[in-house]
Amino acid sequence: MIEKTFAMVKPDGVQRGLVGKIVQRFEERGLKICGMKFMRIPKELAERHYEEHKGKSFYEPLLSYITSGPVVCMVLEGENAVAALRAMMGKTNPQDALPGTIRADFGQATGRNIVHGSDSSESAKREINLFFNDYEIQKYDKIDESWLFER
Ligand code: DAT
Ligand code: MG
């Protein structure tokens, strides 16, 4: 099933100069970039984005971290894109993430784990709506599609 998901290069990924490498992985996988923006997340948006974690011990540090500098937000589309992105990211704690995943290849600590990706189709819809206006999401044909999929 072709679906969209929400991805983000977090402030540490931007600061460490990993934006290009991470976006390259998504492009090489064949995920279609439908939206992309470089922004600083306002506190209120960070609170809404991470509302499921409100009250947890890491909630306040998480908000400080995610608002500490600019991030790159993306809408990606592809076959089972939600699960594909989660698999590419690896486990939340980079120490538990498998080699070859973004978090394992570039990170060491849970609180500096470089990327975000929606954890379900429902989260994807919610997060895309939080971060993107309709006019910021592009509908277009990409020339590799007939080679990427059996159609
Ligand atoms: P994920 O980002 O893999 O979806 P999550 O939604 O459970 O993980 O948590 C959101 C972020 O919060 C995660 O990327 C890093 C931080 N976090 C999660 N669990 C944590 C913990 N036990 N200690 C510190 N930070 C944590
Ligand atoms: Mg999550």
pLDDT tens, residue by residue, 15-48: 999 999 999 999 999 999 999 999 999 999 999 9
The Å distance, Cα 92 to ligand 1 centre, comes to: 6
- The helix/strand/coil state of 77 is strand
Q: Is 148 inside a domain boundary?
A: no
Q: Is 71 inside a domain boundary?
A: yes
Which ligand 1 atom lies nearest to the CA of residue 92?
A: 3
Q: Is 143 inside a domain boundary?
A: no
Q: Does residue 110 have its Cβ closer than 6 Å to ligand 1?
A: yes
pLDDT band at 12 (very low <50, low <70, confident <90, very high): very high
24, burial (CB in 10 Å: exposed 0-12, middle 13-18, buried 19+): exposed
The mean pLDDT of 88-103, rounded to a whole number, is 98
The mean pLDDT of 59-70, rounded to a whole number, is 98
Q: Which residues, at least 6 apart from 119, have a Cβ–Cβ distance to it below 8 Å?
A: 82, 86
Range of the domain at 91: 2-136
Q: Is 76 inside a domain boundary?
A: yes
Q: Is 149 inside a domain boundary?
A: no
Distances (CA, A) of 83 to 119, 125, 139: 8, 14, 21
**pLDDT confidence of residue 151:** 81
Catalytic residue among 88, 116, 118, 124: 116
Q: What is the pTM assigned to this prediction?
A: 0.98
Tell me, what CATH number does 21's domain have? 3.30.70.141
